[in-house]
Structure formats: structure tokens, C-alpha cells
Chain A
Amino acid sequence: MNAPAPTFDAEQARLAAAAHLQPAHFVEFQRLAKSLIHGPQFQLLIVDCRDERLRAKVLLALAQVQQQAGLRGVELALNDDLSNVQALEARLVDLAAEHQVIHLLDASIWMDATRWESFNLLRERLSASVRARLVIWLNEVSIAQVARYSPDIWAWRSGVYPFPQKIIFGNSPGIFSSGLGIIQNGLISSIAFFGGDEINFQKHVGRSVEISDWLNRPHVPNEIRVPLVEELNDLLSGLHDIVSHGQGGAIPNEFYPVIKECLIRALKGVEMLKWMVMRDHIFPNECSENIVLELRLLDQLFRGHGGS
């Protein structure tokens, strides 16, 4: 028997949207999107995501999927405009009349033990009058609160979807190190090629190289590595933004597409490093040669344009 009819486009959208996320988040995103599209009308989906920027990215990707699946989505930020849980219930009932997906944001701040207890009592009424997929965005601590103070909500959870920001380093320091070396070479090459006339661009690239150098040192504790990889990721994203907005100073216009390509590749490289360590953590025996291959391609690209 074939899959139910409306799934093809939505499935395509699900896969396409996931491609914009970090590889480490592919699986959870796919799970979440699948439940949103194909699960029943009423669901209580709990997302573990403490990082606001990551949340924004995932929400954006979900919005594409929802649109393709014909699901109208809405975000409801829980704040002082809502005086209590009863007000929240009334708001949810209103929103469910027009929307099939309701994202509840900032619940970790707005909810306390008392409000979770009150929310617990709404379970039956929610299932009757809010026939929508409720996606509750929380952090780890508040998820524990749900289980403790809203046990009935917890019992009906349709799933918990963790989007960890923290990187878990695996057991492949050699591959990690060689990967960094390739990225660093690429960055140095790009400075040499593009000249680095624009101050922000140069500053960003300089700091990126500095971080790469630090990361490449032996015996760096993981606790230090993690934020540095994050910063490197941010810097490369910033560089990408600068170039995308045409703020590269004296860089000739015709080079912008090439720079963008380089930066996208560099970002991909960082993400792959993260993915690699994640995969090492999950599957200790699986050190993919493809990752190293991809990083080498990145290096070649830089060298091809920068010729260091």
C-alpha cells in the first residue's frame, strides 16, 4: 500500500528544510516534522531547545514544512500579557480555531510549579477544545518540571525532541585536528586572495584563524573547545552575512559569489566537525571517511581561489 496521498510534497519539504539545519539536528528535526505532518490532529510535542537562535532556525524550517503540508502555524509567546493559565487556555482555544500548529514559546520563563500544576488540569479540556498540535518549547529544567508538576500532560506527551546546542566531543582527535587544519588553511588562503581590505571582514577572518589555531593545539580540554567551536561557527556565519550584504569593502563585486561559496564551504566544514564528533559519540566505530573527503574538497576550493 502506498503512503497516504498528501504526503509527497510535505515529505519533500521536510527533507529540504532539514538541509538548512546543522547535521547534528537533522534527526530530531525530521522526527518533529514527521509528527507534525503525519501525526494526529491533537498532540503535545515537547521541544528541548534552550538556545534562542537555534530555536528561530528550527521554527523557520518548520514553517516551511507546515506551509507545504497545508498546516497553518502560529507562535504564541508566553509573557505578562497572559495573566494566568486560564487566560492561556482561552488564547489557545481562540488560536486553534484558525491554526493547526501552535508553538508555545518562552514557557520555561512564564511557567512555574503552580502554573504547571494548573496546566496539568487542562489536559482533558485541551484535547477537546484545542484540536491542534501544541509544540511546547522548553529547556531541560522545565521539562523536568513538566514531568513533576504536570504528570498528566507528561503522560500524554507525543514526544520529546532535543535540540542540543552543546557539542559532545568524540574519540577522534586526529580527524578533528586535520579537519581544523584544512579549514584554517582555507581561511588564510581567503585573506591572501581577497586582501582583507574591509576592516570587519579582516577582523572576523583573523579571529577565526586564531580560534582554529587554539582548537588545533593538543590537550585542549573539551570544555574549552566547545565554546570556541561555537564562536568559530558564529564568526563564519557573520562573514557570510557581510558578504551577502555586499559589505566587503574593496573586494571586487565579481568575487562575491566565490567568497560566498568559500564561506558556505567553511561553515559546512565546521558543522561537519560537530557532526563528526556527535556521530563518534553515538556510533563509536563509525568514523566516516566522507567527512574528511568533504573537508579536503573545501581546502582544494580555497586553494583553487586563493592559491596559498
Chain B
Amino acid sequence: MSYQPPQHLLEVLQKIQYEEALPAGDPRYVETQTARGSERTFSRLAKKIGWDPASNQFFPPSQSHVLFFGHVGSGKTTELRQYAQRLNDSKRFCVVEVDAVDKLDVNNLQYTDALMAMAETLVKYLNQSGYRIDEADLAPLHQAVARVVTTRIDGREVSAELKTTAEAGASLLGLFKLLATFTAAAKTNASNKTEWRREVSNHFTALAGAFNHLIRQAEAALHKAGRAERLVFLLDGIDKLRGDDTQRFFVQDAEQLLSIQAFVIYTAPLHLKYGGQLAGKLDADLVLPMIKLQERDGSRCEAGWTALRDLLLRRIARKLFASDAEITRLVEHSGGHPRELLRLLKLCCEYADDLIDAATVERALSQLAADYRYFLEPDDYTLLVQLDHNEIHAGNDERTRQLLYRLALLQYNDGSWRRSHPVVRRLEGYQRALRDAPPVAP
């Protein structure tokens, strides 16, 4: 049976969940590449790991660590899942998705935890998919991890089960148990977490080497089975690290990340890109752009309008709108941000009884604008007006970064141009700043 969007406003309301990223194949997913101006984003990503989707040429580098930036809620995870599907379908790659939020403690995450989580997810995948890796090839990593998790802390004895697993011959299942012991401690903030991390850190070169060896063996097994030639780790949720942890993970510990000889894609917060501290250690030029409703010169971007309209109408039946004008107005005021469009839709569902009409939409727009009023300062409005009327991207300061982070300022086409959020332009603070702004030179 074909997919039907919710037919009642209360059902629409019930199904709007901001924390939900759409899995590949979800009927609510809308293709947005043309609308974002990101047709080349997937192609660029694929080329960074050696594959040209157009010609199917494949010359993989030894490793590649790619950061994938985007606005909060702009659809990074949803988009990456689509990319993962395409990479998997190519038979060139096998994508191993590591959900940092689910597997680790993103409130206190270090490269050591990420490494172990990547290893655990890979071993689990190999085991569940029935791949065989020789004991000799598993042994180096098995021994290295066993040494970490059997470290006696404060004189406490290691559990008998863990000891047995550590001392047994190397197997995928045994290795998985050892790795899972570590990641569980990292996730639950167990008392031994710090000591174990120190152990990983002290023996990192050996551990990374053992992991790299396993990766090569896994790739050989995948290749032999005709499944793929290279592994790609998709480390999702890293964009949710706290400020200090983000800096430590991507800046201070970049060398450790780069010692993993694999293809790794990390989701990353947009403000990191413009903080100016990445300094070329990691590949940091991929941004998931916003869906465009207009081009830089102000002309209408039809693909953007179509995509957002489709996106909306997969969340709500068309008959629940009084006319197309209401749909248009909601799309227009979303600024091209999918979550903001859903937020407006939710507001409409809260205000309307059974039909979304012009008055309902107007109230929803005012309410969303009022949300921004809570945190915008007078100087923010001045800056927004200035940015809206200045064609030249003159760089980012802390105030601009904060506006980007809180979506008062949206950027398009890989950040080459920016506009204030359309609902913010409704606020009296913005209007006043606009009146007070010096005239723009012709």
C-alpha cells in the first residue's frame, strides 16, 4: 500500500518528532540535492574516498578523514544515510555506521572511545554477517584490547568472565565482548573509564596498528565475498559534542584520529568550520547546504520550493490546508530549513481546529518569530541587516557564529552567501535596525 500522510491535524501533531532522523527508505524522505545546490556534495564526498560515481572509476587513497558540516537540524544524518545507501549499492564500499550518541557518552567523548566503538561496530558487523577472519589476524587487536580491559584498578579483581574471554583464543565474538566492555564503561561513565582510557592512550600506537590490520583483513574478506572493496566508517553524532570536547576531538587529537588508516566520515558542527582552528589536519570542506528558496541574486529557486512543499506534504495531507497559499507561506518562512518548516507546521496544528487557514499561518509565523525574540540582542539585529545587504562574505566573528548556530542566520551554497531567517525579519528589532541602516551604495 502506498504511503499516506496523516489525514488529521492531531495525527500530524503526534508524529512531529524533532529528535528523529529519517532512516534510508523512509517514505517521508524527499530528495533535496538539487534544492540545496548540493548535487555535487555526494560526488565530492565519494571522490574523497576514491570513487567517481559518474564514471565508476575507483582509485582509493590509503585513508581519508572527512568532516561533514551542517546547520543544527538541517538533515545531516538523514542525508548521510542516503549517501551510505548509495555507497553500499556501489559495491565499492561497505559503510559501517557508528552512532556515537547511542554507543558512547557524547558529553565526554575522546578519540580513545571513538576508536573502540568503531572497532566494536566493525567486529559485530563481521560476526553477524558471517565473515571469517583468521585467529592470527584477530590476535593483535584481541591482545591489545584484553590488556586494556583487564587492567586492575585500585587492586580490584577483574571479573572471571572477562578474564576467561581475555585469555581465550581470539575470535570475533570474544573480541566483540572485550570491545563492548570498554564502550559500555565509556557510555555509563564507569569508574574504570579514566584508567582504561589512559591504557589505550599509553599503548595507542600498538592498538591503532592492530585495528588497522583488522581493517585490512576485513576489507579482504569483503572483497573476496564480492560485497565491497573498502570499509567506510560513518561516525554520526560527533557534531553533538560540547564545545571543549569538540576542540579536543577534532583539533588536539586530530593526529590520533588520522592514525586510523581508513575512510572515516564525521558529522561536525558548523561553528567548528568557521572557528579557524582546524588548520588542514582533517578534510574539512564539505558542508551540507540549506535548501535554497532563492538564488543569491534573488531569483526564485524552483527546486527548493518543490522539495520543501513535497517535504511538507509527506507530513500532512493537502486537504488540511485551506489553499495552496498557506503552504507557500509556510515554505517561504522556513528559510529552507526542514526542522523550521516542521516547527511551523506544529504551530499550525496547535492553533488550528480542523483546517490550516491564512490566520493560522499568520499566528504560527508570529509565534516562531517570538521564539527568536527571546535571545536576539540589539546588536544582533544590526548585524543581520548588515549581512542581508552585503553581498560580500566578509568573514565570521563570534556574534555571526552564534547567529548561525541558533539559526537566526542561515547560509546557502556551502556557505558562500547568507540570509537572516525570514521570521526574524518580521521582528520590530530587525525592522528598526533596517530603518536605521545606512543606505546601500548602488
Contacts and interface: CB of A to CB of B under 8 A. Distances in A.
Contact of A121 (B7, B242, B346, B349): B242
Contact of A35 (B13, B101, B339, B405): B13
A143 interface: yes
A7 B7 contact: no
Given A155-B339, A159-B350, A4 B11 contact: yes
Contacts of A308: none
A143 B370 CA distance: 12
A4 B188 CA distance: 39
B220 interface: no
Contacts of B374: 140, 143-144, 147, 160
A40 B14 contact: yes
Interface stretch (B16-24, B45-53, B204-212, B324-332): B16-24
A128 B99 CA distance: 13
A160 B350 CA distance: 12
Given A4-B10, A34-B13, A124 B375 contact: no
B237 interface: yes
Contacts of A121: 106-107, 242
B347 A4 contact: no
A129 to B, nearest CB: 12
Given A121-B107, A148-B375, A156 B19 contact: yes
A291 to B, nearest CB: 20
A127 B19 contact: yes
Contact of A147 (B11, B242, B375): B375
A151 B406 contact: yes
A151 B405 contact: yes
B325 to A, nearest CB: 20
Interface string B343-374: 00011011100000000000000010011001
Interface residues of A, number: 38
A35 B14 CA distance: 8
B240 A124 contact: yes
Given A3-B10, A39-B14, A154 B106 contact: no
Interface string B58-87: 000000000000001100000000000000
Contact of B13 (A39, A42, A154): A39
A35 B17 CA distance: 12
B72 A151 contact: yes
A230 to B, nearest CB: 23
A25 B18 CA distance: 26
A124 B17 contact: no
A162 B11 contact: no
Given A121-B107, A155-B339, A160-B371, A31 B406 contact: no
A157 B374 CA distance: 13
Contacts of B72: 151-152, 155
B8 interface: yes
B362 to A, nearest CB: 10
Identify which of B19, B237, B339, B374 gathers the most chain A CB atoms within 10 Å of its CB.
B374
B242 A31 contact: no
Interface of A: 1-4, 7, 27, 30-31, 34-35, 38-40, 42, 117, 120-125, 127-128, 140, 143-144, 147-148, 151-152, 154-160, 162
Interface of B: 7-8, 10-11, 13-19, 72-73, 101-102, 106-107, 237, 240, 242, 339, 346-347, 349-351, 367, 370-371, 374-375, 405-407
A-B residue pairs, 4 tightest by C-beta:
A121-B107, A147-B375, A1-B7, A31-B350
